[in-house]
Amino acid sequence: MLTLNWNGKMKFTAHTESNHEVVMDAYTDVGGEDSAARPMEVLLAALAGCTAMDVISILEKMKTTPRDFKIEISYTKAKEHPKVYTDIHLKYIFYGNVPKENAEKAVNLSQTKYCSVSAMLRKAANITYELVFES
């Protein structure tokens, strides 16, 4: 079970089932103190974290761990409330000697089979992705 506690103004702390905390806050112009991420930012971080864990796990099983790895996410939101994400684009960036076919397979498996956050968000938003290889 997840519980959420109000910390005053627009700041909240979620206490997760795995016994960790996620702090969220709002912009100052809507009553927050701008002291933590917004809930929609946390949602994108969850997406990135979910698919990144899949990709690294799959690549390690293929014995092709990248030297470094990151994901950049760009998005479009609806103009009217609720301002949901309508389009989400993930850029998977691999550093080091990662065979393209292994990276493509890992990302594809994450996006089509394993990442539950992607699966949920895909019901509301168009999710696209690209792979970039850096030395």
Mean of the pLDDT values across residues 7-16? Answer: 98
Question: What is the number of alpha carbons within 13 Å of residue 37 lying toward its C-beta?
Answer: 12
pLDDT confidence band for 47 (50 / 70 / 90):
very high
- The tokens describing 27, both together, are 């912009």
Each residue of 77-96: pLDDT tens digit? 999 999 999 999 999 999 99
Q: Do 42 and 58 touch, CB atoms closer than 8 A? A: no
Q: Do 38 and 109 touch, CB atoms closer than 8 A? A: no
Q: Residues with Cβ < 8 Å from 64, sequence gap 6 or more?
A: 97, 98, 99, 102
Predicted local distance difference test score (pLDDT) of residue 135: 86
* Whole-prediction pTM: 0.95
Q: Where are the alpha helices (DSSP H) in the chain?
A: 39-61, 100-109, 116-121
